[in-house]
Amino acid sequence: MSITTANLGFPRIGRRRELKAALESYWAGKSPAAALLATAANLRKENWLLQQKSGLDHIPSNDFSLYDQMLDMSALVGAIPTIYERPGSGVPLDLYFAMARGSGEARTCAHGHQHETTGVPALEMTKWFDTNYHYMVPELASDQAFELTTTKPLDDFLEAKALSVETRPVLIGPVTYLLLAKVKDGRAEPLSLLPGLLPVYVEILRKLAGAGASWVQIDEPALVLDLSPAAKAAFKTVYETLAREVPGLKLLLTTYFGALGDNADLASKLPVAGLHVDLCAAPEQADIVLGKARSDLTLSLGVVNGRNIWRNDLSATLRSLDRFADHAGGIVIAPSSSLLHVPVDLALETDLDPEIRSWLAFATQKIEEVALLARGLKDGAVAIAAELARSDEAAQDRRESAKIHDKAVQLRTRGVRHEMTLRRSPFATRRVAQDKRLGLPAFPTTTIGSFPQTSDVRKARSDFSKGVLTQAEYDAFLRRETEKAVRWQEEIGIDVLVHGEFERNDMVQYFGEQLSGYVFTKHGWVQSYGSRYVRPPVIFGDVSRPKPMTVQWSSYAQSLTERPMKGMLTGPVTILQWSFVRDDLARADVCRQIALAIRDEVVDLEKAGIGIIQIDEPAIREGLPLRRAEWTAYLNWAVECFRLAAAGVADETQIHTHMCYSEFNDIIAAIGAMDADVISIETSRSKMELLDAFVSYRYPNEIGPGVYDIHSPRVPDAAEMADLLDKATAHLAPDQVWVNPDCGLKTRRWEEVKPALVNMVAAAGRLRASH
């Protein structure tokens, strides 16, 4: 039986984030296009040569992108909305970046999304399946014409060939492309555009075959989703057409991020040469797929996890591959998905605890693991004896290490009882107690937590980390910033104050750095979108809170004022969702440990006299599993964790949550079940439409629908905000409504924030007068 090796995609950002530097310098007009393109070519070359050196049989090309692989596909097939100026043929860089970022000034909001203010807006951006990667949503017309508009896949293939690297070009398959697209005027289903799109795929595949490609990797991750009958039919049409029109070219139909499930039959019967399945996300599908596959179908087995940073347990993986020994079509050993979702090279992490480091593998190491596994299969365990021994040792060490296993945390997590997730009294009773304690006016005003992270604030933080500022000097600086913010909020008449979060670098990292069981990398960057990379913290062990994390800052801020100061925490689901999570414990259990740590913080804040505590959970919606059938189970534990974090306090302590922008319809019952006393959400840009979910659900608790779009530097006037509030009060009870901006203000400038919040307070005043 043939055993080969493959990679599905390599991170393109560079070991030292070279791509980011090159992009930003080009965008800033500081360097010419040629410099950017040279950096890009160099990164491609490095990646190809690295993979070639590891001995991989199938090395991807066209996995590189200057911005996003979906945007590349839109450029390839000519899906360029008419609002963008097309200066001739092809897709010149500036057109490409206009679609990516808009042609105006780029603005970034508190949760990292880009928003445009002038010029042509960017394409919409959204999350790639259940990852933290964001792709540019193809925007199609209902009469969209497609034509081959760039030759990027071909160019990249030839570029590699010139370096003596035979590659397997990667394309996103037509069904997935369309299912992720939007038809602008809504007058057609994206899938109905398939007849126009398919010939363009035929054309590019013919060109690739003509240039000498023997395989093409065609990514159809949509095969792990719930599919409509029309989508299933589209898969048949597409792959029958491609088999007929481009005979002789082998297609690897690539699925990842989950199980084929009810699409397994469909996927394994399509007339393609190979099928890739994710055996990390869904190990149970090994036997199913083996049972269904044609004997001559090459099976590509994703056994090295492309979504996390843990070292592969080589012995266990080899054992799991035994069952494929007789598969006539041959197997390919591969990562489960593109390695885009993991950092580039562990070798850069020279400061990490060596024990913890021995448990990790980044993209570069994962390539080696793929090669090792294939050697072990082909030549027997003796051929890789030394590597197996090291892997066994790491696996055993991880199972037993005192750094990971904390008896006290495990006991406490096991002891969580349902009563611990219940507030003492129902909302109606709590509300009376809170009214009495807080004495807030109708339509109380507040903000979501952060105030501008000015260059002064960032400089002080970096000076402190470099040792230029002492702890005492840095603290004094933060105290001054906090005091200024408190005084100013009092002055303009905000009812519930915040301390401003000046001490926080990031809403997850700040907590991760203070929790046990967490570790941070120096160079572990992962692309979130375009030139924005994140460095997710790593949860490697049982999580606990050695000491209070925010109490000092909140109490200090409260000591400055008679008005209520809101304590500010990030919730357990969001902390989990934005970290790399250990793979030796169920996510629900990890989340419960975090929830207990946050619960302790909530209780300590209450003890310190903080009467209002906000627990931010913007990531609950994005944690939803890819398959609807799994939603309830997830939402159950997610909500339970939030409640566990929140429910340790007395009735008169008011719990807030903030959830940014979400498609709330899907999760409104879960939001209800969270039972926060007050929830704030982002509603200004939707002109309060997002409130509909709450209205039709008859959401009983209090709500702060955002009245001010913090993604834009524009300062809304009081009338505009009062209008939005009128809309909100038309459907909600007046005593349900709070007045606040859409989200945190950390990415804004004080020059914008100050007048906007003054206007917001005035808008609340108008509302009070008219009710």
The catalytic residue positions are 711
Instruction: Write down the least CB distance from residue 544 to ligand GLN, Å.
Output: 23
CB under 5 to 8 A by kind: which of ligand GLN, Zn ion, none does 312 bind?
A: none
Report CA Rg, the chain. 27
Query: SS in 3 state form for 277-342?
Result: EECCCCCCHHHHHHHHCCCCCEEEEEEECCCCCECCCHHHHHHHHHHHCCCCCCEEEEECCCHHHC
Q: Show the tokens assigned to 84.
A: 């963008």
Which of 134, 658, 711, 748 is in the footprint of ligand GLN by CB under 6 A? Answer: 658
Amino acid making up residue 57? D
Instruction: Write down the least CB distance from residue 571 to ligand GLN, Å.
Output: 9
Tell me, what DSSP letter sits at residue 626? S
Residues in 535-594 that interact with ligand GLN by CB under 6 A? 568
> Which positions ≥6 away from 559 have C-beta within 8 Å?
none
Q: Show the tokens assigned to 699.
A: 């959401």
- Residues paired with 450 in a beta bridge: 500
Torsion of CA 401, 404, 407, 410, to 10 degrees: -140
Identify which of residues 255 and 614 has a Cβ nearer to ligand GLN in the complex.
Answer: 614
Instruction: Write down the least CB distance from residue 440 to ligand GLN, Å.
Output: 20
Identify which of residues 9 and 744 has a Cβ nearer to ligand GLN in the complex.
Answer: 744
Residues 430 and 655: their CA atoms lie apart, in Å, by 10
Neighbours of 172 (CB within 10 A): 24
CB under 5 to 8 A by kind: which of Zn ion, ligand GLN, none does 530 bind?
A: none
Kindly indicate which of the ranges 323-331, 446-454, 664-672, 756-764 contains the residues binding ligand GLN, using the contact rule CB under 6 A.
446-454
Identify which of residues 181 and 743 has a Cβ nearer to Zn ion in the complex.
Answer: 743
Identify which of residues 620 and 763 has a Cβ nearer to ligand GLN in the complex.
Answer: 620
Residues 320 and 324: their CA atoms lie apart, in Å, by 9
CB under 5 to 8 A by kind: which of Zn ion, ligand GLN, none does 616 bind?
A: ligand GLN
Number of residues that bind ligand GLN (CB under 6 A): 15
CB under 5 to 8 A by kind: which of Zn ion, ligand GLN, none does 507 bind?
A: ligand GLN
CB under 5 to 8 A by kind: which of Zn ion, ligand GLN, none does 168 bind?
A: none
Identify which of residues 149 and 579 has a Cβ nearer to ligand GLN in the complex.
Answer: 579
How many angstroms separate the Cα of 339 from the Cα of each of 260, 539, 683?
20, 19, 35
What DSSP element (H or E) covers 146? none
Identify which of residues 99 and 507 has a Cβ nearer to Zn ion in the complex.
Answer: 507
Identify which of residues 624 and 743 has a Cβ nearer to Zn ion in the complex.
Answer: 743
Instruction: Write down the least CB distance from residue 682 to Zn ion, Å.
Output: 6
Residue 660 is a binding residue for Zn ion (CB under 5 A):
yes
Kindly indicate which of the ranges 77-85, 253-261, 349-357, 658-666 contains the residues binding Zn ion, using the contact rule CB under 5 A.
658-666
Identify which of residues 568 and 718 has a Cβ nearer to ligand GLN in the complex.
Answer: 568
Residues 246 and 243: their CA atoms lie apart, in Å, by 6
Neighbours of 400 (CB within 10 A): 10
Residues 686 and 360: their CA atoms lie apart, in Å, by 43
CB under 5 to 8 A by kind: which of ligand GLN, Zn ion, none does 486 bind?
A: none
Which of 78, 618, 706, 713 is in the footprint of ligand GLN by CB under 6 A? Answer: 618
Identify which of residues 274 and 449 has a Cβ nearer to ligand GLN in the complex.
Answer: 449
CB under 5 to 8 A by kind: which of Zn ion, ligand GLN, none does 76 bind?
A: none
Residue 746 is a binding residue for ligand GLN (CB under 6 A):
yes
Residues in 125-184 that interact with Zn ion by CB under 5 A? none
Residues 684 and 513: their CA atoms lie apart, in Å, by 33
Instruction: Write down the least CB distance from residue 680 to Zn ion, Å.
Output: 8
Which of 58, 101, 111, 523 is in the footprint of ligand GLN by CB under 6 A? Answer: 111
Kindly indicate which of the ranges 99-107, 711-719, 731-739, 740-748 contains the residues binding ligand GLN, using the contact rule CB under 6 A.
740-748
Q: Dump the DSSP string for 450-498.
A: B----HHHHHHHHHHHHTSS-HHHHHHHHHHHHHHHHHHHHHHT-SBB-
Instruction: Write down the least CB distance from residue 744 to ligand GLN, Å.
Output: 2
Closest CA to 582 of 625, 627, 525, 519: 519
Name the residue with the smallest CB distance to ligand GLN: 744
> Which positions ≥6 away from 638 have C-beta within 8 Å?
573, 591, 620, 623, 670
Instruction: Write down the least CB distance from residue 536 to Zn ion, Å.
Output: 19
Residue 109 is a binding residue for Zn ion (CB under 5 A):
no
**Do the beta carbons of residue 592 and residue 540 sit within 8 Å?**
no
Number of residues that bind Zn ion (CB under 5 A): 2
Instruction: Give the sign of the dihedral formed by CA 402, CA 407, CA 413, CA 414.
Output: positive
Which of 615, 743, 756, 764 is in the footprint of ligand GLN by CB under 6 A? Answer: 743
Query: SS in 3 state form for 4-52?
Result: EEECCCCCCCCCCCHHHHHHHHHHCCCCCHHHHHHHHHHHHHHHHHHHH
Identify which of residues 57 and 709 has a Cβ nearer to Zn ion in the complex.
Answer: 709
Residue 403 is a binding residue for ligand GLN (CB under 6 A):
no
Identify which of residues 160 and 660 has a Cβ nearer to Zn ion in the complex.
Answer: 660
Instruction: Write down the least CB distance from residue 734 to Zn ion, Å.
Output: 24
Identify which of residues 447 and 544 has a Cβ nearer to ligand GLN in the complex.
Answer: 447
CB under 5 to 8 A by kind: which of ligand GLN, Zn ion, none does 500 bind?
A: none
Tell me, what DSSP letter sits at residue 565? B
Residues in 739-758 that interact with Zn ion by CB under 5 A? 743
Which x/- pattern over 55-94 shows residues binding ligand GLN (rule: CB under 6 A)?
A: ----------------------------------------
Instruction: Write down the least CB distance from residue 605 to Zn ion, Å.
Output: 20
Residues 258 and 278: their CA atoms lie apart, in Å, by 6
Residues 682 and 676: their CA atoms lie apart, in Å, by 16
Instruction: Write down the least CB distance from residue 501 to ligand GLN, Å.
Output: 6
Which x/- pattern over 500-529 shows residues binding ligand GLN (rule: CB under 6 A)?
A: -x-----x----------------------
Instruction: Write down the least CB distance from residue 102 to ligand GLN, Å.
Output: 22
Kindly indicate which of the ranges 170-178, 429-437, 442-450, 516-524 contains the residues binding ligand GLN, using the contact rule CB under 6 A.
442-450
**Do the beta carbons of residue 115 and residue 174 sit within 8 Å?**
no
Residues 581 and 604: their CA atoms lie apart, in Å, by 26
Instruction: Write down the least CB distance from residue 721 to Zn ion, Å.
Output: 17
Tell me, what DSSP letter sits at residue 348? G
Closest CA to 617 of 581, 666, 562, 578: 578
Residues 371 and 3: their CA atoms lie apart, in Å, by 11
CB under 5 to 8 A by kind: which of ligand GLN, Zn ion, none does 704 bind?
A: none
How many angstroms separate the Cα of 448 from the Cα of each of 245, 456, 489, 657, 745?
56, 21, 13, 9, 8
Which residues make up the interface to Zn ion (CB under 5 A)?
660, 743
Which residues make up the interface to ligand GLN (CB under 6 A)?
110-111, 448-450, 501, 507, 568, 616, 618, 658, 660, 743-744, 746
